[in-house]
């Protein structure tokens, strides 16, 4: 058993019986390794199985199949109160009848830590979340952001091997959420505890994580660093869920070394660099980020497609151009407004050339 | 008129409370004042009230007696203080037993599947559909010397060839306690259920997550958060038991006389409304004092904690 991994999920399946009597696999054969000390995010839309995965690591749900290891120890069938993990709940789940001090000290009290040491560690934890002197308050007397920090302190004060966070910032307003994202990240670096963070917010995941697992329909589609997830999405779902992507559907016509020739019916032929091997006649989708496309600035040796501008949207930092090609393809091009008083590169109804290099797209088959 | 009412908030309020207000003044406040006045009066030879002012009824209730054995003019007669004390302890014991029975049931209902909860609550309330006196008669049938329980026990004893003397259950303090518990159980189940049902399920998970096993989760989270339900239920059980007289009359007979029975007898049998009024007011005062200290310690049960 290696224990460089904080948490390992080995072929984990969780099936639920639905109220209609059907069986639903909320988590379907998920295998992943979460390294010690990393900030790991489970990202996906609601119902993708991210929260169920987290709850299985916490012990609130038991896996139907497969194993969950924490630092090499099989905890699959162990009760939550015997696991070396702590959770920050979505709605904080602070005990309303206890003071802040009693809330934070609860875990230590259960472990039998003496009252004196407890109160010292509680005030230490309160300083860590920058709410010193709040010991005697009741949760009701605190704002949402403060409750969130207390929930964090209540979990961290136990020095868990792994901290589980279930959309902890979901209930906060946007500005506070951004602040807390950075704070959580620096806190994680400071304490060095492995964080497993569940979120449906891709920006949040990209901002905070060392690695991200993108989940959909109970399956982990891709587990990688934020840059890799964004730059090299493995599937159309990942490309679409993380950021904005143009999908141009086509057919592979040939491959010379790493260069793949793709016919976009009616629109033209493009050449894409890919490390994968494609068969002739295979359906494939060219996925290009809007910021990796240019308008009316042809790239020699790149792909240049002519279309008609349908939409021009000025959003301050950028201008977005919606372009429709002769086939059924559409693309959105993002051009940065670099110079003062920059004129639009094209107007609605103009013919325009959309260009991108051979290396910037991803050629996806699923 | 309508427009004036629409604009005038305080007139709206007065209009809304006035039916109840008239009712309460006519049927609670005025009778109470009359009771107070009568309690200071004297009983005439034919059982009418002679209005006067004296504390003799209260003095008598506290145990000062003038019907003494030879040689004494004033002596202590404990009969009424005993009745008061009996009522108080019975109310206390009934409340405790009711809590012990109601809590597990309320807990079971609150933790059961939401689709089944209404059925269970319905079953809790079904007994209230039948007249209470009829249900107490049913208890008499069960507890009598030749009742169902004794017959069953006799049959079992016979089966093993043992001699059997019927148990004396009816007309005992135990029978009265059973009757009280039976009558007021639903009034404890419902508020406890309500406060248990309100507890956010993630609090149980949080407790488990922080290392508390089932017992400690119950003691540190479930119990304190359901305390408001127990407090509200206690108010609903303790006060009526203090004044109850039907159960003690039917199941206690002459053996278990409570304040309620004392008052009833003063008005109907002894025809001394002045002493009955004084006893009523003492009962009220006693209940208020107990409830005052109780609610000062635990609140009224309305502070059901919310996250």
In chain A, positions 123-162, which contact chain B (CB-CB < 8 Å)? 139-140, 154-155, 158
Q: Where in chain A is the domain with CATH 3.40.50.300?
A: 5-240
C-alpha A211/C-alpha B289 separation (Å) is: 65
A121 at the B interface (CB within 8 A)?
no
What is this structure's pTM?
A: 0.82
Pair type for strands A283-288 and A268-273: unpaired
Q: Can you spell out the DSSP letters for chain B?
A: -HHHHHH-HHHHHHHHHHHHHHHHIIIIIHHHHHHHHHHTSEE-TTS-EE-----HHHHHHTTEES--STT-SSEE-THHHHHHHHHHHHHHHHHHHHHHHHHHHHHHHHHS-HHHHHHHHHHHHGGGGS-HHHHHHHHHHHHSTTSHHHHHHHHHHHHTT---PPP--TTSHHHHHHHHHHHHHHHHHHHHHHHHHTS-HHHHHHHHHTT--HHHHIIIIIHHHHHHHHHHHHHHHHHHHHH--HHIIIIITTTS--HHHHHHHHHHTS--HHHHHHHHHHHHHHHHHHHHHHHHHH--S------
Secondary structure of A48-77 in HEC code, one letter for each residue: CCHHHHHHHHHCCCCCCEEEEEECCEECCC
C-alpha separations of A35 from A3, A59, A189 in Å:
9, 19, 14
DSSP code, position A11:
E
CATH 3.40.50.1820 fits A5-240, yes or no: no
B114 interfaces chain A, CB cutoff of 8 Å: no
Kindly report, as residue ranges, where domains of CATH 2.40.50.140 are found in chain A: 244-364
Q: Is residue A357 predicted with pLDDT exceeding 70?
A: yes
Output the CA–CA distances (angstroms, integers) from residue A199 to A48, A229, A291, in the order listed.
11, 15, 25
Lowest mean pLDDT among A338-352, B31-45, B94-108, B120-134: A338-352
pLDDT tens digits for B58-106?
999 988 888 777 778 888 888 999 999 999 999 999 999 999 999 999 9
Handedness of CA B295, B298, B299, B304 (dihedral sign): negative
The whole-number pLDDT of residue B301 equals 52
pLDDT bin (cut points 50, 70, 90) of residue B300 is low
Strands A39-43 and A211-216 turn out to be parallel
CB A40 within 8 A of CB A195: yes
Q: What are phi and psi of B256, to 5 degrees?
A: -120, 90
* pLDDT at residue B299 greater than cutoff 80: no
- The tokens describing B153, both together, are 């026990």
Using CB atoms within 10 Å of the CB of residue B62, give its burial: 0 to 12 exposed, 13 to 18 middle, 19+ buried: middle
- Cβ-defined contact of B200 to A60 (cutoff 8 Å): no
Cross-chain Cβ contact B206/A89 below 8 Å: yes
Confidence of residue B53 (pLDDT cuts 50, 70, 90): very high
Closest residue to A158, CB basis, from B200, B210, B221: B210
Whole-number pLDDT of residue B66: 82
Distances (CA, A) of B154 to A20, A77, B163, B171, B213: 52, 52, 8, 20, 46
User: Domain B80-298 is of which CATH architecture?
Assistant: Orthogonal Bundle (1.10)
Residue A64 Cα to chain centre, angstroms: 25
DSSP A162: E
A118 touches chain B (CB under 8 A): no
Separation between Cα atoms, residue B303 and residue A126, nearest integer Å: 28
Q: Looking at domain A244-364, what is its CATH homologous superfamily?
A: Nucleic acid-binding proteins (2.40.50.140)
- pLDDT band at residue B304, thresholds of 50, 70 and 90? very low
Whether A239 contacts A245, CB under 8 Å: yes
- Contact yes or no for A255/A277 (Cβ under 8 A): yes
Task: Measure the CA dihedral B237/B241/B244/B247, to 10°.
Answer: 90
Distance from CA of A53 to the nearest CA of B (A): 15
Q: Do A242 and A231 contact (CB within 8 A), yes or no?
A: no
**Angle, alpha carbons A335-A339-A343 (nearest 5°):** 65
Q: Could you tell me if B251 and B139 are in contact, meaning their C-beta atoms sit under 8 angstroms apart? A: yes
* Nearest residue on chain B to A141, alpha-carbon basis: B307
Among residues 296-325 of chain A, which lie with CB inside 8 Å of chain B?
none
When pLDDT is cut at 50, 70 and 90, the band that residue B255 belongs to is confident
Return the ∠ at Cα A88 (arms to A84 and A92), rounded to 5°: 140
| Structural domain spans, chain B | 1-39, 80-298
pLDDT averaged over every residue in chain A: 93
Mean pLDDT value of segment A268-277: 92
Residues B273 and A278: their CA atoms lie apart, in Å, by 105
Query: Which of B201, B209, B229 best tests the A interface by mutation, with the highest count of A CBs <10 A?
Result: B209
The CA distance from A182 to B84, in Å, is 68
The pLDDT tens digits for A132-174 are 999 999 999 999 999 999 999 999 999 999 999 999 998 888 8
Indicate if the pLDDT at residue A277 is higher than 80.
Answer: yes
Contact B212 A91 (CB under 8 A): no
Q: Which of B82-86, B183-187, B301-305 has the lowest mean pLDDT?
A: B301-305
Token pair 């302190």: residue: A153
């Amino acid at each position: 058993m290696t224990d460089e991994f904080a948490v390992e999920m080995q072929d984990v399946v969780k099936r639920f019986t639905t109220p209609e009597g059907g069986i639903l696999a909320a988590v379907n054969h998920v295998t992943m390794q979460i390294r010690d000390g990393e900030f790991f995010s489970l990202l996906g839309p609601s119902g993708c199985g991210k929260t169920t995965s987290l709850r299985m690591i916490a012990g609130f749900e038991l896996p139907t199949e497969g194993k969950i290891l924490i630092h090499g120890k099989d905890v699959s069938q162990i009760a939550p109160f015997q696991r070396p993990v702590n959770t920050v709940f979505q709605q904080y789940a602070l005990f309303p009848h206890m003071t802040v001090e009693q809330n934070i000290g609860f875990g230590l009290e259960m472990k039998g830590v003496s009252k004196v040491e407890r109160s010292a560690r509680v005030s230490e934890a309160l300083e860590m979340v920058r709410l010193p002197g709040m010991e005697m308050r009741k949760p009701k007397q605190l704002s949402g952001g403060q409750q969130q920090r207390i929930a964090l302190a209540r979990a961290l004060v136990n020095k868990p091997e792994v901290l589980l966070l279930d959309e902890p910032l979901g209930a906060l307003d946007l500005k506070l959420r951004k602040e807390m994202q950075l704070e959580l990240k620096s806190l994680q670096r400071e304490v060095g505890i492995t964080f497993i963070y569940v979120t449906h917010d891709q920006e949040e995941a990209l901002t905070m994580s060392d690695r991200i697992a993108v989940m959909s329909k109970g399956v982990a589609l891709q587990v990688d660093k934020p840059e890799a997830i964004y730059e090299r999405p493995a599937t159309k779902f990942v490309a679409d869920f993380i950021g904005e992507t143009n999908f141009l559907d086509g057919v592979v016509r040939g491959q010379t070394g790493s260069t793949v020739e793709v016919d976009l019916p009616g629109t033209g032929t493009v050449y894409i660099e890919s490390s994968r091997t494609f068969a002739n006649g295979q359906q494939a989708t060219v996925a290009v980020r809007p910021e990796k496309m240019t308008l009316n600035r042809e790239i020699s040796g790149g792909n240049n497609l002519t279309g008609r501008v349908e939409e021009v949207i000025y959003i301050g930092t950028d201008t977005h151009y919606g372009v429709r090609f002769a086939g059924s393809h559409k693309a959105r091009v993002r051009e940065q407004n670099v110079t003062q008083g920059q004129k639009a590169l094209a107007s609605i109804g103009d013919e325009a050339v959309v260009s991108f290099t051979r290396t910037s797209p991803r050629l996806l088959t699923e | 008129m309508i427009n004036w009412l629409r604009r005038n908030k305080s007139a709206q309020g007065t209009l809304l409370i006035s039916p109840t207000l008239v009712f309460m003044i006519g049927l609670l406040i005025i009778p109470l004042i009359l009771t107070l006045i009568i309690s200071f009066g004297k009983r005439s030879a034919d059982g009418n009230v002679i209005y006067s002012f004296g504390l003799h009824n209260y003095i008598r209730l506290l145990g000062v007696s003038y019907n003494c054995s030879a040689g004494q003019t004033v002596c202590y007669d404990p009969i009424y203080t005993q009745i008061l004390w009996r009522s108080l302890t019975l109310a206390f014991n009934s409340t405790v037993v009711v809590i012990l029975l109601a809590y597990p049931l309320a807990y079971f209902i609150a933790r059961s599947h939401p689709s089944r909860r209404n059925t269970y609550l319905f079953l809790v309330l079904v007994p209230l559909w039948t007249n209470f006196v009829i249900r107490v008669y049913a208890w008499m049938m069960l507890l009598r010397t030749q009742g169902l329980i004794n017959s069953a026990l006799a049959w079992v004893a016979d089966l093993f060839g043992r001699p059997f003397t019927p148990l004396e259950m009816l007309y005992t303090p135990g029978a009265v306690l059973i009757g009280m518990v039976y009558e007021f159980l639903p009034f404890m189940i419902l508020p406890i259920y309500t406060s248990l049902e309100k507890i956010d399920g993630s609090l149980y998970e949080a407790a488990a997550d922080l290392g508390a096993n089932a017992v400690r989760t119950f003691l540190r989270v479930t119990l304190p958060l359901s305390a408001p339900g127990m407090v509200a239920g206690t108010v609903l059980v303790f006060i009526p038991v203090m004044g109850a007289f039907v159960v003690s009359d039917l199941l206690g007979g002459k053996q278990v006389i409570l304040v309620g029975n004392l008052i009833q007898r003063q008005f109907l049998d002894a025809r001394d409304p002045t002493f009955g009024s004084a006893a009523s007011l003492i009962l009220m005062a006693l209940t208020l004092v107990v409830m005052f200290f109780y609610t000062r310690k635990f609140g009224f049960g309305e502070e059901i904690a919310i996250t």
